[in-house]
Amino acid sequence: MSAIPDPVLLVLERYAAAVRAKDVAAYVALYDADLHVFDLWSDWSLRGLAAWRDMTAGWFSSLGSEYVVVGIDDACSSVSGELALGHAFLTYTAFSAEGKQLRWLTNRITVALRRNGEGWTIIHQHTSAPVDHVSGKAMLQRLP
């Protein structure tokens, strides 16, 4: 994989902007109609935009007056023809309406993009955190 970040980094930057704005429509617009997701939380898989829109709306509304800043680290991408593949670490930091840092966690994200007219949409997204062998718990904080 090369370190050239486009179009994966562009999609991740739009993802971060949509999360920061809690903009469900802008978030969902990043995804393909036939999306398959392996999400960090709760479900083995999720398919299609309707289910993803519901998940997103629930997440953003659960934040109340808080907001979330997404940091992107170690992004890599590969592009060939109609497909792009990328992975990165995403750190989600929640702030109060007054700008006080409340909590944070890190995910590993893999995305597959398909060229869609002039742009690209996410056809597959896989997020996770590594699991501790002894406790069986997800390690949600990646320390330098």
Contacting residues toward its own copies, per CB under 8 A = 1, 34, 36, 38-45, 74, 76, 78-85, 87, 89, 106, 108, 110, 112, 114, 123-124, 126-133, 135-140, 142
Distance set, CA 71 to CA 46, 51, 80 (Å)? 24, 25, 26
Our CB check for its own copies shows the closer of 21 and 63 to be 63
Give the nearest distance from C-beta 37 to its own copies in angstroms.
Answer: 10
Backbone angles phi, psi at 132, to 5 degrees: -70, 130
13: closest CA among 71, 93, 59? 71
Give the nearest distance from C-beta 30 to its own copies in angstroms.
Answer: 17
Place of tokens 């992975």: 87
Report residue 72 as tokens: 């992107």
Is there a contact between 125 and 51 (Cβ–Cβ < 8 Å)?
no
Our CB check for its own copies shows the closer of 49 and 76 to be 76
Give the nearest distance from C-beta 86 to its own copies in angstroms.
Answer: 9
Our CB check for its own copies shows the closer of 26 and 110 to be 110
Our CB check for its own copies shows the closer of 4 and 21 to be 4
Give the nearest distance from C-beta 98 to its own copies in angstroms.
Answer: 27
Our CB check for its own copies shows the closer of 23 and 87 to be 87
Is there a contact between 115 and 121 (Cβ–Cβ < 8 Å)?
no
Number of Cβ within 10 Å of residue 101's Cβ equals 10
Give the nearest distance from C-beta 111 to its own copies in angstroms.
Answer: 9
